[in-house]
Amino acid sequence: MLEITPTILTDNFLELKEMLKKAESFCDYVQIDIMDGKFVPSKSIEISDLKKIKTSLNLEVHLMVENPLRALDYLKRIENIKRVIFHYEAKDRPIEVIGEIKSFGLKAGLAISPETPVRKTKDLLGSIDSVLVLSVNPGFYGSKFIPQTLRKIKLIRKMRSDIKIGLDGGIKLNNLSKILNYPLDYLCVGSAILKEEDPESAFLEFKKLIYSRNSQEKKKWG
């Protein structure tokens, strides 16, 4: 079953706590976006804020920062973090970042922004646990979905069949059916879940559509 990972992007620590509390009622895993205002135009909560939170959720941290190595110094002391995702386009050498993440006993994920060709990441695919394809220009909740980015998913799957592939950005109920045509493992969904009036109902709607699609596929192929 395709996983749905609610995504938190905020510059307000109280809102972060509120969103985590809401998410605890219907899921066990969320992604938190960290933005430094340099790598992307917007700035989120500080990475040091993560040390102040108490949650039962497992966390994935998506670093949209120029220097992920610097950020990792904070993350190694924070409980509940299972995976750290950083951008291929960041300034630090990717292989060094991957090694540092794994030295903490965490899963290492590589994010690819819309303008980055998949071929540039080919040599790194054997060293990472997951790839996160960005289907929006990163940095804002509710950014416009870029359908051309979907072709990257099949290219990555051909290069390494067993890698975990996620899609992040602009994912809504009204474009989900198209997205489900691609060999993905998980979807990071932000505003279409946690900015809704009833986040749990929104989350369950995504799960329902995915389940319905899987059922139809099983009937089709017998």
Sign of CA pseudo-dihedral 38, 137, 71, 7: positive
Q: Is 33 a catalytic residue?
A: yes
* pLDDT for position 217: 61
pTM summary value: 0.94
- Check the CA dihedral 104-106-110-111 and report its sign: negative
**Active-site annotation holder among 33, 36, 49, 92:** 33
203/148 Cα distance (integer angstroms): 25
Active-site choice (36, 49, 92, 168): 168
Tell me the domains of the chain and their CATH numbers: 3-221 (3.20.20.70)
Which pLDDT score is estimated for 215? 67
* Distance in angstroms (rounded) separating the CA atoms of residues 69 and 120: 20
198 is catalytic: no
Task: Compute mean pLDDT per 10 residues along the chain, 222 residues long, and list them.
Answer: 94 96 96 95 92 94 96 84 97 97 95 97 96 90 86 97 96 95 96 95 96 68 50
pLDDT of amino acid 219:
55
pLDDT, residue 79, reads 81
In single-letter form, the type of residue at position 149 comes to T
